[in-house]
Every structure is written in structure tokens, then in C-alpha cells.
Structure 1
Amino acid sequence: MGASTTPSTPVSRRGFPVTPKSKSRSPGSTTVSPKSRSPRKSETPISINQARRNFIEHLESWSLYRRANCSFSGKISPREPDYHSKKPYALGEAVICELLPHGETTAVTIVVRLFALPNQFKYRMIIRCGAGWEDERSWFLRQHRKYQARAKKQNRHGPVTSSPRSLASDGFPVTVRPLFNKFTLLPIELQQWIFEFAMGNVDGVRPHLSRQMKEVQRPMVENVSVAKLLTLSRSINCHVTPWFFRTTTFHFATQHLTTFLLQLGPINRSELRKLSVSFGRYSMIHVARFYTPNQVFELFEPPMLPLQHFWRLTLQDCMRELNLAVLTIKVDRMIKRDVSAVAKGLATSFGSVGQVRFENEGRPIEAESYRAGKKFEKTWYQHTQDIFERYCKGRESEHIFGKDQLKGTLEDLEKKMNDDPEFFQT
């Protein structure tokens, strides 16, 4: 019998089946294989450029709300893409940037790390300094001082003729600018508005308090010391300080007015236009001692210490230099019959007073209505008679009248007043 002629799988010499070889490819044939990317080709130039643009956007947001020194200005831009780096541009990573300060022709290479603050639209930057990292505020402040000193040195030796050039990295740098314009470059009206906002002098200022309470429409406004704002600079004080004293109402109780006027000096005292006083229950005693004219003071002879006499004379001299536009008297807890004499004693102590206003618990009142329709204006002769009749036998008498006046009568007081009718009839 002969061998079978049906095709079969080829067998090797040792009896093992042999896998048939693939047919040779034709020149035009193609094979489809699954795509595989090498780690180096995972980040194409387009993706790196996109990451760089995203980082530039973060830099833009940082420049708008940055915490660096407001005087530094220049341009910053990330360096050109480095395709060998896995994460060349990302928050929290060290990114090589070029910084071109304003007025300079050579860019500086720096390494920065940018962090996004949680729950805020702000960023924090640290900059490589030596072997460590430095906060952006300190670093930019030091750079500003360095370039400012260099500019002064160049101006001393003559101008430098050189054309400024842009950053070499690309044409889309981020501008590092001051967050606000210089205060001295703003219009005077805007400077005064900012000064008023910082002071918060809606209801006036109490100079005896170290800090003023703010009543502004913004939350979280810290209290600001008046003395600090009045020592900004000489150029600012030339127009801000006179405006401040002309437009601000200064509130005083029974103390601190003399010290305040002495510390102001003659120039600032001449700018005062508005004062508000509140003496309370013992207004008549305080006015009789420190504010009444010398004729009335010598007539009453109130018991005072030598130091109190000195403060009275000092206060009288300072008040004669004031030309007030408005004098506000707060009648809270003041005896109604004393309002007229207190107002007359205060008004005559100043050089001039344009208008006298009265307030009760913060609300303006009319003098006539407060006196129940009675005549408000009186002469010193009438005021002296009224004060003596009401206080000569009360417990406040020893604070207003001397011993000789308490032993005398109203007729004795009238005889003394008749010796100077030109004053007491006014």
C-alpha cells in the first residue's frame, strides 16, 4: 500500500511539528499594530507650551494680588520649555524664570515656586536665594533698594545711554507692577479722601484716645492712630494736615484740651474750625474755673491750686488763637439753667465763634426749645446774679466762689460789677 498524499503539518527530523513561516510581505502591504508611546514622547511640545501658558496665567493672578513690595516694578516670564523635564511648569514646582527690572537692560535669572492659597484667589511665591528660599516680600524689597541705589549712582556719574530690551524668553511676559500708584502722585482730593477713610472720622476724633473707632462701611477695618497718620511725610502734610484740622470735629470732656492745643503748635491751632465739648453735671464749675473771662473769674475767686492757675492761663492764651466755625456743646446731664452761662463762657473764650450748636444724646436741638421758650441770651451781669443765687448755698458753692464771696451778699457782688459796667452789661 502506498503512502497518503493528503497535506499534513511539517515534521522536523526529531518528530516535532514545525510552525509554518509567514509569507513574505509585498512591498505595498501594511500591518496594523497597537500604538505604543515612549515615556519621552508622552509630553509633546504642544502640551508643554500649554502648561507654560497655564503657569503664566497663575503669574498674572499673582501679580494682581501679590504680597511683594509695592515699589518694585518690572517683567517676569518663565524660561523657554525644557522638554527633558517631566514637570517644567506647575504650582509648587521650581520654575526657572527671567526677571527684567524696570529701567534695566539685562534680565536676571531666578528660580521661583508658586503656591495657591486655600480658599482664596491669591498666591504665595518664594524665590531661591543662595542655598535656601526667601519670601517674595523680602526678596523684592531688597531688589528694589538695590536697583534704586544703582540708579542714584548712575545719575551721579551721568546718564547711561542704552536702549532697553525685552525678555529673551518670549513676548508674553507678566508685568510686576505696584499694586497702587504712589500716594503723592494721586490728586489732592483723592489723597484727602483716602486720609479721611483711613481716619474714619465720621463723627469726629477724640484726641485723648490713642486709637479711633471706625464707623465705615467696610468690615475688618483696623483702628489707626491719629499721630501715625499725621507723620506720613512733609510733602503730604503740606496740604493734608491743614485740611484735616479744618474739616474734623475734635471732641473733649473736662480734660486733655489744654495738652492738645499745646502739642498742635501755633500753625495747626490756627487751622482748627470745629470743637465739641461735653462737661456733664459739673459744667458750671468747670467753666467758672477755666473758661470765664478774667473779670468774672476775679469776681468769683474760685479756690484753685497754683498749677490749676497755670493751666487756666495757658488754656486762655491758646483759645484766643482759635477762630472756630462751629462750637458744639453737648448738654447731656447738664443743668438746663446752666446752658446759657456755659455757652457764653465758652464762646467768649475763643478768638471768634461762627455758630454755637447744642446736642442732646447725639441729636441736635434748638437752644430756645431747650430753655422752654425763655430768653436765652443774657448779659454777664444777669448771668452772675443767676449763678450766685443758685450756687451760693449749695454744696458746689465752695468750688465756684471763694470764702470772701460766700460771706458776702448779692448786693456786695452787684457793687463790684457796677465798677466795670462796660464789660458786665455785654
Structure 2
Amino acid sequence: MASSRAAKRPKVDPSSSSAPPPQRGDDDYVPGNIVEIELCNFMTYDHLTCRPGPRLNLVVGPNGSGKSSLVCAIALALAADPAILGRAASVAAFVKRGEDSGHVKISLRGNTPDHKLCITRKIDTNNKSEWQLDGTTVPKKEVIDLIKKFNIQVNNLTQFLPQDRVCEFAKLTPIQLLEETEKAVGDPNLPVQHRQLIDRSKDLKILQVAVKQKEKTLNNLKALNAELEKDVERVRQRDRLLKKAELMKKKLPWLKYDMKKKEYKEAQEKEKTEKKKMEEVAKIWEDSKGPVEELKKKKMSHTSNTKRINSHMAENMKRRQDITDKELQLKGQLRATLEDIEDLKRQERSRQQRILKAKEALSAAERELDDLQPYEAPKAEMADSTHGGNCTTDLRYK
């Protein structure tokens, strides 16, 4: 749908840039190009003056001939910090050994071929720098503003790449390379627009996530609404049923009245019918009352006879029970007497056995007594015991 399509990206108006891209002049130089470099007591150089061409310039030489020194001189003259060169942390290290001071002078092409801007940076071994612009001493900030005017970015590795920072350049991610390239192109609004584009992309993603969440919430609310509609319909049905129940409650007394009225009429009709039946039954009762009285009298006579017979039966049963109890008592006494007789018999048998055993023991003792030899007392010993008078012999025989 057309409404769901993303809005087109607005076109960038070329006239909105802060400055038009630089144009080459008749001398083939672009404003801000280096037209002359002068070194004095700088690293390996005593004095050097060179004039780069308007396009590609190559510095060729053997190792240690001063190629990197020339690059360092350009960077320091363009207000670069010594740390970005990867060689030394202070400008004092760039003064030629044995000298106290040196300087770097760079001439930049101005807006016309005849206009040149000379930037001079004097350094010494005390790590001090003095800045001059066209021979006049100026603060460093003024030099930095001039360099920014020509969009010279010494800290940008895509625009200025020292030998000792090649590894850092190789470590740049594609996104960082793109950002540094945009800065080096020359349009200062390009990085800003890129950053705005990134921010808006993030905002778009956030909005897309929010839209999805809102859609999910909307679906949940729709489902909840559908459930609530069912509840609402049930509530409405309940209200209708309550109203109907209330109406039924109002009709109920009338219905009860009609039912009771109908029952009352039916009861009246039934009462009349039953009354007629009762009259007929009463007449029959009066007719049969005489035989009933006679039967009652006969019943009373039979009842009295039955009571008298029952009392005789009860007395006979009682006497029979007494005789039975006495018989049981006598049987118990007889059983006890028989048991006593048996005990006496057992005692008698036991006594006879003891008498028999005593007789046998007496006979055995008599036989043993008969077998014993006659006893003769020792006369000599008796005489001694009689004269001594100190001991008494007690002789016992069994």
C-alpha cells in the first residue's frame, strides 16, 4: 500500500553547502596546496628548500635519506600533534642533533596564483614552539583556523598517512574508512549528513520495533476486545433474563392465585362428592351397628376368657420353672456329692498304699535287726572312763 511505503529521501541541494568545491587555477594549483617547503636544522636536514608540483608528488630515496623527515615537517608545520607521527611525544625530538633550535616553513597557495600564505613553526630543544603567519607571530589557534579553512586534516589517515601509522590505517573498519573519507572529500556537511542518516536509521529501526510492538499490542487488544464482547453479550443476556425473572416474579402471585382458586373449586366439588359418600356410609353404618354391638360383646367375652387362660398358663409356667430350677439344683448337689465320694476313694487308696509301704519298711527293719550281732560293752574302757571322771560317755543304740 502507498501509505505503508517509506518516504523518499529528500534530495540534497548543492547550494546548501557552506563553500563550493575548490577549483584549480591557471597555475594548476588548488587553494591550500603546498607550493614550497623550507627546513632548517630539522632531524637529518641542515637546510632544505623544495617546491612540490600541483598534482602527485613522489619523494624517492634510500633508507635514512630523510623521506619521513619531510613528512614529519609537513605535519608539524600544519599544527599536528607530534604523537600522530608515532615517532616522538615532543617537538624537541625533531631538532637536529647538536643544534638548539630549528624551524619548518610551508607556503600554501592562496585564492589567486600570486597569493601565498607562509606558515612558520620554530622549535627548540626546550620543547617550545613559535608560530608565524606571513612573518608575523600569531597564536596556534589562528594557524589551526587557517588550516581548517582549506580543509586540511592532518589527523585524518585517509588524507595524511605517516609511515608509522600504516598499521592503524589497516585496522580501520569499513565504517571508519567511510567516515574518514567523507571528512577528506571536502564538504563539511557530508559527515554531518552521514551522522544524521545513521541517527535517523536508528530512529527508523526504533520506530519499526515500536510499530511491531504496537501492532502486537493492537492484536492483543482486539483479541481482548473480542473476549470482552462475549462477556458483554453474556451480561446483556443476563440483564434480559433478570428482567424476565423479575416479570415472572410479578406474575407468580397471580399464577399461584389462579392455581389455588382452581384447587379450591376442585376441593369444593370433591367435598360435595365425599359428603354424599359419607351420608351413604353413615346410613350403612347405622344399618350394620346392631350386629357390630353383638360382635363387640362376644369379643369382650372371648377376651376375658383368653385373659383367664393366659393367667393359668403363666402360673403353670412359673411352677414348671421352679421345679426345673430345683431339679438343676439337686443335680448339682448330686454331682458334688459324687465328686466328694471319688475324692474319699482316692484318699483311701492313697492311705492303703502308705500303710502297705510302712509294713514293708517295718518288715525290712525287723529282718535287719535280726541279722545284727549281740553287742558287748568294752569293760576296760568303761573302767578308765569311770576313774577319770573328766568325761561322760553317752551310748545310744538304735
TM-score normalised per structure 1? 0.22
Q: Which has the higher strand share?
A: 1
Q: Which has the higher helix share?
A: 2
TM-score normalised per structure 2? 0.23
